[in-house]
Chain A
């Protein structure tokens, strides 16, 4: 069982537009595996364009929360709405298309398709999101993230830091409304961790995307004003 607590630093509020549905809205949501709840009675509201950090120790349910938001898991009780859509009510293909069309996820491990080069990895993401190949967008995204020199390079030839920036580019190239990042800096050194966290925040800001990043990495905590703290054993 996990308790949670929202913390908001004194920063300018992102005021919701009248009539606009929130990016994320959890209401008394409980989720777990095999009958054992991991997150229980969680209430959380994220307005569009807000950047949130989800923090908590390992095993506290940070990744589980992202899996619910991505539609990989359904709540046991309560509701989880993303862009006003209760994903649990959607059939699998519709949920996949909704995810592809609205969200992007960055993982701790890059999970790039090894058989494709960097450009092709980004092209595949656009294709699966139902977008045109958009070679110009692909190229400009790579350039913004400083990895355009690796456009024809296979993932196996990249360093971890380069690969993570390419993974970030793949997430951004579909111009997602919601950007989920699951411990994206955990396997990076300080310099790369700082760069990736900075790029995530900058690009999400540029695209107007809602950013939710889970981490237990103290190096990036201070960059986010909004934090959802998920404790373990009832401790915030």
Chain B
């Protein structure tokens, strides 16, 4: 009977107590491991989505809101950016690429992002079927948004005003054609619906709903700039459209009414064409030619120096704000870190409680086995052998507890990954988290530590006294 064999026999001799020790250790270990896995997954997903973007430039406001709304698409946009400021970005020597983003609408909870096709390249997404958009009112779905809405190639849909999952009034006159579906990427791209920036502009500015529901835009942080509209020729072109009367009370349109060139446009041949036009797509073609109003720009630097100099320059010398996703993520993780620390502290208390339980169980078992241990000495066991006999028993229980904990943690993570894939096609790994090996070694060390008092006591057992019943 080896040391391991005898330790196992002793464990089997008190199955309930041993199972309790293992369960307590397992729960503590699982809690910490699951927290590690979740945090790592969360950080990896955030980082993966943000890594592609060096900087976001948008309207002034909260930089975190700007990043959350334009990179992760989880918050309301801050506002819109004046067109002339866009030129500043495009012409800047430290900027390699500028990708426009126009937000404001959604479809069944999935955001419609008006952008150009370089956004797709930014995340390395590939088409599963169809093609990318190249004309107004053409849309491409991400893998998750396609799967969950059930839309595919050749289908038509209309956008809903606003970005809430509950949806809002629909832009019925501007149906989108689905021209492509992207393959899963595991990034934020999967959960979006893409179209051109100009399309978003068309839908918002030509749909009568746009002005009626202006307050909704404000609530969502999507602030239309009235002054910009005042200077926008677009409104003049449509001054006599059939729906103009509906806007008669709108202060915004009153401003337009006083504009000097309004009457000129009223007789414009182009305008007449529009007035009789039943096909809104023709409107779209016209609008696309004008400078779009943009929610934000995703910026790629041409030099690492830009990371330091450019945000400050933009924040100080323009009406826009610059936000760095990498920095904002770290800030977000620090904010979330407090909550994680609380859970971690709770889990550490669980593990320590389990180790104290193990210590108590071993010590109690030792008292019950004093005669066994004394007889082992009589039979030739050395003090060292008895010491290790107790440590090995603790090790078996600890390893079982750790194994149970890891199986629980990774099992839950695996289940969550299946669930997330089934319902949202989010790719979640249940692989080892970086700190898990440290966790395993720490719990193992605590298990040995819990055994030491009993092991020392076992090694120093008084054979004659025990065997004579003392």
**A contacts, CB < 8 Å to B:** 63, 67, 70, 72-73, 92-93, 96-97, 99-101, 104-105, 107, 109, 111-116, 120, 123-125, 127-130, 170, 174
| Cα distance A152–B382 in the bound complex, in angstroms | 27
Inter-chain contact A124/B1, CB cutoff 8 Å: yes
Closest to A101 in B: B380
Q: Which chain A residues lie closer than 8 Å to B464 at the CB level?
A: 63, 67, 72-73
Interface flag for B468 (CB, 8 Å): yes
Interface flag for B125 (CB, 8 Å): no
Given contacts A111-B375, A115-B10, contact A120 B381 (CB under 8 A): no
Interface flag for B16 (CB, 8 Å): no
How near does chain B come to A57, taking the closest CB pair, in angstroms? 16
Q: Which chain B residues lie closer than 8 Å to A96 at the CB level?
A: 377, 380-383
Cβ contact of B467, chosen from A73, A107, A116, cutoff 8 A: A107
Inter-chain contact B378/A105, CB cutoff 8 Å: yes
Cβ contact of A93, chosen from B371, B374, B379, B382, cutoff 8 A: B382
Cβ contact of B463, chosen from A72, A112, A129, cutoff 8 A: A72
Inter-chain contact B374/A111, CB cutoff 8 Å: yes
Q: Which chain B residues lie closer than 8 Å to A130 at the CB level?
A: 380
Q: Which chain B residues lie closer than 8 Å to A99 at the CB level?
A: 378, 380
Inter-chain contact B469/A109, CB cutoff 8 Å: yes
Interface flag for B372 (CB, 8 Å): yes
| 22 intermolecular pairs with C-beta atoms under 8 Å apart | A63-B464, A63-B468, A72-B464, A93-B383, A96-B377, A96-B381, A97-B380, A100-B380, A104-B379, A109-B371, A111-B374, A112-B375, A113-B6, A113-B376, A114-B13, A114-B372, A115-B13, A120-B1, A124-B376, A124-B379, A125-B379, A129-B380
Inter-chain contact A120/B380, CB cutoff 8 Å: no
Closest to A66 in B: B464
Q: Which chain B residues lie closer than 8 Å to A73 at the CB level?
A: 464
How near does chain B come to A89, taking the closest CB pair, in angstroms? 17
Q: Which chain A residues lie closer than 8 Å to B379 at the CB level?
A: 100, 104, 124-125, 128-129, 170, 174
Q: Which chain B residues lie closer than 8 Å to A104 at the CB level?
A: 379
How near does chain A come to B359, taking the closest CB pair, in angstroms? 20
Interface residues on B, range: 20 to 34
- Count contacts between A and B, CB distance < 8 Å: 74
Given contacts A73-B464, A111-B467, A124-B1, contact A97 B9 (CB under 8 A): no
Q: Which chain A residues lie closer than 8 Å to B380 at the CB level?
A: 96-97, 99-101, 128-130
Inter-chain contact A128/B376, CB cutoff 8 Å: yes
Q: Bits for B1-16, please: 1 = Cβ < 8 Å to A, else 0.
A: 1100010011011000
Q: Bits for B384-406, please: 1 = Cβ < 8 Å to A, else 0.
A: 11000000000000000000000
How near does chain B come to A48, taking the closest CB pair, in angstroms? 20
How near does chain B come to A188, taking the closest CB pair, in angstroms? 17
List residues 406-465 of chain B with CB under 8 A from any CB of chain A.
463-464
| Cα distance A96–B376 in the bound complex, in angstroms | 10
Given contacts A111-B371, A115-B9, A120-B9, contact A100 B381 (CB under 8 A): yes
Inter-chain contact A116/B384, CB cutoff 8 Å: no
Q: Which chain B residues lie closer than 8 Å to A114 at the CB level?
A: 13, 372
List residues 34-55 of chain B with CB under 8 A from any CB of chain A.
none
A67, A70, A111 pick with most chain B CB within 10 angstroms: A111
Inter-chain contact A115/B374, CB cutoff 8 Å: no
Closest to B6 in A: A124
How near does chain A come to B367, taking the closest CB pair, in angstroms? 13
Inter-chain contact B383/A128, CB cutoff 8 Å: no
Q: Which chain A residues lie closer than 8 Å to B374 at the CB level?
A: 111
Inter-chain contact B372/A128, CB cutoff 8 Å: no
How near does chain A come to B461, taking the closest CB pair, in angstroms? 11
Q: Bits for B309-346, please: 1 = Cβ < 8 Å to A, else 0.
A: 00000000000000000000000000000000000000
Q: Which chain B residues lie closer than 8 Å to A109 at the CB level?
A: 371, 467, 469
Inter-chain contact B375/A127, CB cutoff 8 Å: no
Q: Which chain A residues lie closer than 8 Å to B375 at the CB level?
A: 111-113
Closest to B469 in A: A109
A104, A124, A125 pick with most chain B CB within 10 angstroms: A124
